[in-house]
Amino acid sequence: MIAASLLVIAIVTQDQSSLRSAPRDSAPQQAVLAQGDSLEIRGQKGDYLQVYDHRRERAGFIRATQVRSQSLKPEAAPELLSVVRFLRDTPGAESLGIGYAAAYLRAAPAETINGEAFDALGAMAERLARRASARQGKPGGDALAAHLEVAASYGVEMLSFEREGQVQLCYNGDAHRRVLALSATDRQKALAALALTKHECVTPNLNPIDRFALDNWRADVLDRVEMRDLPEVLKNRMHLRKAGVWASLAFQRARRSEFAPAAVQAAASRAIQELAAVNKTELAEADAAAYSDAAIRVGASRWGAEPALADGASGNPSQTITKLSVRLSTGQPGETCVHVVDAKHDTKNPLFTRCTYGVVWAASATANRQGTALSLAVQPLDTWREMWVFQQGAKGWGVDVVPPALDNPNLGYVEFAGWVPGNTQMLVAREAKVDGRYKTSFEVLRTVNLEVEKQADQPKNLSTFYRWQDATWKGQTVSLR
């Protein structure tokens, strides 16, 4: 670190700047500097400044045209802040901007510092992390690595973990937390809250207790932001983030015995309300993916918003023709067992039993008119909901699991959408993120083997689907948003 007593420093403005052992181009190179590096000025010889690099603990000479001499006296703070404002949204200049932000925070009197400088610092750190995550294996990696090292020298910490086969870098958010703690505008606080609550920056290997605590913290951070005077685009982003967080909380509350069904219902309903609050006429093109992401997260947990049925009973209230339904019981620790029952078979003597560690949304159980098949929503992950189809075959009852996509469980849901008369077809809706793209499909499945016979991106494009879609599903699903 640079000595605290320094009143003038040199900030490197060009990548690949050489720190040489003597003030001439032919002198041996001591180190290669990147934009944003800070140096102590010890003198000048011709076109070179004599400097000392505290980070590398190395002295040398650098061309004066490759640095900017900058005073750290309090009266220089406004000038430094002006440069920070300019660099805040300049792509590729993140490490330089971080260097200027650090210089401003050293120069400015403590009582004058508010959330603006930390807002800029956080924005630049976030953009640097995105660039590093996106450019893995591409040209320019050396310069980007140097920028990350410069940022780290100022205390900007990046977190890294593997996601979808790639290393994901995320800023740890220290500057954003300071924005929320200091005097700042509602816009700055909203941007800080959004940066701190990113779904993609949640560590994948968190245990359930830590994940639950983190999501509660994320919900609290978002709810503390005053949204009334925010621009519509920013309001939409807040609603989308809240929808995703509350959908996750609905799933996690359902997994924990200390939460009553009403608490689960409140969280899932909140998620649906936040998604519905999005003003689609003001939805930015850049937020289309975020909208699909939030909708899938809400869709995965949306059955939590439906009232739980008493005594473990379940089934669509509209299904009064058949007695076929399910009952739930506790299996091994953390396990829920699903028992298919009818008028002649109770929980002790069920038609079929299957246990799972996922969340069973009992209210989703829907049987066909013949009483030979039943669909059930089961959610093993907070962003992944499957459909179980129980059927009576020649050898008795069995169950098939229909996933949202033939991919690693990531983001998606599949749900029952209707029975087609004749007991040979059923309707389903799917939404999933596959190979980085969001896909919605409405399908007609062959009941006997659950193979897709027809599919379309809109229900109206399938006559069978349009005619026989279930009214309850149509009124509750988010896939028709």
DSSP 267-331: HHHHHHHHHHT--GGG--GGGHHHHHHHHHHHHHHGGGGSPPPGGGB-S-TT--S---EEEEEE-
Name, in order, each residue with C-beta under 8 angstroms of 15's C-beta and a sequence gap of 6 or more: 34, 35, 143, 146
Specify whether 468 is located in the same domain as 339.
Answer: yes
Position 363 in a domain: yes
On whether residue 63 sits in a domain, the answer given is yes
State CA 260 to chain mean position distance.
Answer: 27
The 10s digit of each residue's pLDDT in 31-89 is 999 999 999 999 999 999 999 999 999 999 999 999 999 999 999 999 999 999 999 99
pLDDT number for residue 139: 60
The pLDDT score that the predictor gives to residue 359 is: 97
Residue 25: CATH number of its domain: 2.30.30.40
Residue 45 domain flag: yes
Low-confidence ranges of the chain (pLDDT < 70): 1-5, 137-140, 308-322
Do 295 and 352 sit in the same domain of this protein? no
**One domain, residues 329 and 461:** yes
pLDDT value of residue 5? 54
Q: Distance between CA 451 and CA 163 in Å, rounded?
A: 31
Examine the domain organization and report whether 386 and 461 are in the same domain.
yes
Domain boundary among 254, 277, 308: 308
Shared domain check, 315 and 462? yes
pLDDT number for residue 162: 84
372 and 295, same domain (yes or no): no
Q: 325 and 263, same structural domain?
A: no
Residue 235: inside a domain:
yes
Q: Helical H runs in 319-469?
A: 463-468
User: Is residue 200 domain-shared with residue 279, that is, in the same domain?
Assistant: yes
- The DSSP code for 345 is B
Kind and range of the H or E element at 177?
helix 174-181
Q: Which of 396, 389, 378, 397 is nearest to 427 (CA)?
A: 389
Strand partners, 45: 48
pLDDT of residue 436: 85
Distances from the Cα of 154 to the Cα of 33, 106, 308, 424, angstroms = 15, 12, 52, 65
Token duo for residue 77? 């703070």
What percent of the residues of the chain are helix, what percent strand, and what percent coil, each to the nearest 5? 40, 30, 30
Each residue of 213-244: b (16+ CB within 10 Å) or e?
ebbeebbebbeebebeebeeebbbbbbbbbbb
Q: How far apart (Å, rounded) are the C-alpha atoms in residues 81 and 392?
A: 72
Query: Is 169 a domain residue?
Result: no
Domain that holds residue 436: 311-476
Number of domains in the chain: 3
Under 8 Å between Cβ of 469 and 411: no
Regarding whether 303 and 315 lie in a shared domain, the answer is: no
